[in-house]
Structure 1
Amino acid sequence: MFNINRNYELAENEGSSLQTGNKYIVLHETTNIGAKANASYFKNNWATTQTYVQYVIGDGGKIYQVGADGYQAWGAGSYANANSPVQIELARTTDKATFKKDYATFVNFARSKAKQYGIPCTLDGSGNGIKTHKWISENIWGSHTDPVESYLEPFWGITHEQLTHDIAVGIEDVVEPKKTFTNINNVVTTLKGNVKAYATYKLDGSANSTTDIAPGTGWISAGIEMINGEPQYCIGGNIYIPQSITTFKDKVLINSDIPVHAVNLKGEVVGANLDGGSAWKYAAVVNVPKVGYCYKIATDMYLPLKYAQGSGYKG
């Protein structure tokens, strides 16, 4: 029924050798784009990051296996890991047709694995069942809110109630998302660079010691903040990456579908409106009175950060 890609499956001497109990199937989302890239990252970094799951789903309904069924994955804390024979990550996408396939496979595959291990096809109820990572955080351990609050609902309109229904009955017809996500608004990509991984930061400027990200990977940003003297994109709960490690290292792409305005150093609107989607080099980031932080894109011409790709602004 399901075609599983095993190119990134851990070898026998990799990952945990501990078997699990059969209480939960845990549902996650990756926070970044592309299932193949995430599966590859788990395969190549499981030992250093101490994180991986059994399956990653995405790229148009494809399934990539990483960990072995029935053996502990490292995705949801010690108790959940010890009692979940399968944990599944849903990779993000900005394409509507791709998401429809991904979501249907995510739901139906979770149901299939639950039935295989005698686990009820109920979402976030009491006792055994299919659990979101948020349920694990609220009832056992952790602080994650995936996959519903972090991805499914804000980006595609799939509520917890909808996911609960779909987990209970399955999906025959591919679901139609209630929202359409616009590509240019939020996607940022890390530089390929000659590095193994990039550090991420918290809003207070301190490093996230357990959350590094791979070079050349795409991420959906929820906003831009000034941290440690430079713009940083929010790619998860209190997880930020500097603009300087992305393909927007020295430029800004206006993320509006309509023209936007620039201001001068006094905060006054100046010049003609700037076309949505146009790219501009910037010389510095300046805190403009009454406006806030802005990219300096010309002499006495400043573009508010909120208009840049990665800010979530939609015009």
Structure 2
Amino acid sequence: MTEFNIDTSLALSDGEGSSKRVDSNKYIVLHETTNNGAWNNAHNEKVNWATQEAYVQYIIGDGGKIYSVGSEGYQAWGAGSYVNANSPVQIELARTDDEATFKKDYATYVEFARSKAKQFGIPCVLDESGNGVKTHYWVSKNIWGNHTDPVQSYLLPHWGITQEQLAHDIANGLDGDGSSFKPVTPITPQVSRDVVTIQGGPATGIAGWNSKGEIIKGSNSTFVNGTSWKANHIQLVNGLPMYQVSTDEFIPKKYTDQAGIITINAIAGVDAVNSKGEKWNNSSTTFSDMSKWQSLDNGCKVINNRLCFQVSTDQFIDAFYTIGGGNK
């Protein structure tokens, strides 16, 4: 079995993370982090596993490096209760904008997933029925959730890696260091800084609300899954963050493509603040434009009369500087 150099400096300590062993070895789950940098993401999971209730066993990136967070064979918090209970290993792939870095990351991602599948007696087949290696998107379509990673959210739009290529590579492996892989030129999607898309709501549509916290009768026939809406403001309505999509009409953030995350909308990045309203100087290099950060939708806090989203233990981002928040 291939030997891998695994960095354990950010691994959860005794008493951290779930103490439950997995029920069975059915799946290896593949994710992507939605933002750049493996070390940053591993560190975030290490220090925020309890408050954000999310972490996996491994994060790969930074030029093919592997960072350990959770313990193999114990339940991670990455893909819903059933899958977590039947996945001895879940793996995140960190984003990068550098092609050379990506080639190393992708090769390690594929080979490490294959290695862990073999270690736990799991077939090296991707997104087929029965046991095997599963994308988070497969989990969402077949078991629970609304995620599209790693192919639809990152590998395909940014690097041209199709579902078919990933399936082939998981089944057969890559040549050596991945030199047989030839990524296409990354696609730069059109950025819509004031648009959110409804997803994860009931088939009958979601209710719109007014600023008084009253349901707008019949609005569910308008706000249906898959429809996109211009949003120019976020505010709390009935204690939950909602996007303003017309003069006095709001839709809950938890039923949009920004559910559970925020996307930074500030060309130069934005500095976080702490719970006292004090600025984290120079943090704008971390909270860079269009980077995505996990943030519970009920974890908002008003700081200095500004609605802010919590992204770590004592770091908050002004909602104005997020997608749909009003910054244009």
TM-score normalized with structure 2 length: 0.61
Match of 1:148 in 2: 151
SS at match of 2:94: strand
Q: Structure 1 residues 53 and 229, CA, compared in 2 at 3 Å: closer, same or farther?
A: closer
1:65 paired residue number: 68
* DSSP 3-state at the match of 1:227: coil
Contact kept, 8 Å, 1:94 with 1:181, in 2: the verdict is: no
| Residue 15 (str. 1) matches residue 3 (str. 2) | no
SS at match of 2:51: helix
Matches of 2:61 and 2:170, distance apart in 1: 18
Deviation at residue 36 of structure 1 after TM alignment: 0.3
Report percent identity of matched pairs. Answer: 59
Aligned to 1:95: 98
The 8 Å contact of residues 205 and 227 in structure 1, kept in 2 or not, is answered as no
Q: Could you tell me how far 1:163 is from its partner in structure 2?
A: 0.2
Post-superposition CA distance 1:72-115 (Å, at most 9, x none): 00000000000000000000000000000000000000000000
Q: Find the aligned partners of 1:38 and 1:114 in 2 and give their Cα distance.
A: 23
How many Å separate the matches in 1 of 2:79 and 2:167? Answer: 20
Secondary structure at 2:102's aligned position in 1? helix
Consecutive unaligned residues of structure 1, counting only runs of 5 or more, are 189-200, 207-223, 250-293, 296-304, 306-315
**For residue 258 of structure 2, what is the aligned residue in structure 1?**
238
Contact 1:4 1:62 in 2 (8 A): yes
Pick the aligned partner of 1:128 from 126, 131, 136: 131
CA distance in 2: counterparts of 1:36 and 1:205, whole angstroms: 40
The residue that corresponds to 1:309 in the other structure is: none
CA shift at 1:225, angstroms? Answer: 5.8
Deviations 1:2-60 (A, max 9, x none): 10000100011100011111000000000000000000000000000000000000000
CA deviations over 1:169-218 (Å, ceiling 9, x no partner): 01123322112367xx97x9xxxxxxxxxxxx987999xxxxxxxxxxxx
> How far apart, in 2, do the equivalents of 1:55 and 1:241 lie?
23
Aligned match of 2:269 = 247
Deviation at 1:226, TM superposition (A): 4.3
CA displacement, residues 134-176 of structure 1 (integer Å, 9 cap, x when unaligned):
1011111111010000000000000000000000001123322
What are the equivalent positions in structure 2 for 1:15-54 lying under 5 Å apart?
15-20=17-22, 21-54=24-57
Q: Is the 8 A contact 2:157 2:187 kept in 1?
A: no
Question: Counterpart amino acid of 1:79?
Answer: Y
In structure 1, which of residues 177, 183, 207 is the aligned counterpart of residue 183 of structure 2? 177
Q: SS of 2:44's equivalent?
A: helix
Cα RMSD for the two superposed structures: 3.7
Distance, in Å, in 1 between the alignment partners of 2:106 and 2:230 is: 31
Q: Which structure's CA Rg is the greater one?
A: 1
Q: Tell me by how many angstroms 1:130 deviates.
A: 0.2
Deviation for aligned residue 1:227: 2.9
Measure the CA separation in 2 of the matches of 1:112 and 1:63: 13
Label 1:6 to 1:248 Cα distance change in 2 as closer, same or farther (>3 A).
closer
1:115-140 CA distance string (max 9 Å, x none): 00000000001100000001011111
One-letter amino acid of the structure 2 residue matched with residue 19 of structure 1? R
Please list, as runs of the form range in 1=range in 2, the aligned pairs for 1:196-207 lying within 5 A after superposition. none
Equivalent residue in structure 1 for 2:113, among 102, 105, 110:
110
| Distance across 2 between alignment mates of 1:123 and 1:71 | 22
Q: SS state of the match for residue 64, structure 1? A: strand
Q: Give the Cα–Cα distance (whole angstroms) in 2 for the partners of residues 88 and 35 of structure 1.
A: 11
Aligned mates of 1:76, 1:227 — CA distance in 2: 31
Amino acid in structure 1 at the alignment position of 2:172: V
Where does the alignment leave 5 or more consecutive residues of structure 2 unmatched? 199-207, 211-228, 236-242, 244-255, 272-325
Matched residue, 2:82: 79
TM-score for the superposition, normalised by structure 1: 0.63
Aligned length: 224
State the match for 1:218 in structure 2: none
Higher mean alpha-carbon deviation, 239-248 vs 20-29, is at: 239-248
Q: Distance in 2 between matches of 1:171 and 1:237?
A: 33
- Work out whether 1:228 is the aligned partner of 2:247: no
Contact 1:123 1:129 in 2 (8 A): yes
Deviation at 1:241, TM superposition (A): 3.7
Contact 1:8 1:65 survives alignment (8 Å): yes
Q: Is the CA contact 2:57–2:89 (under 8 Å) kept in the aligned structure 1? A: yes
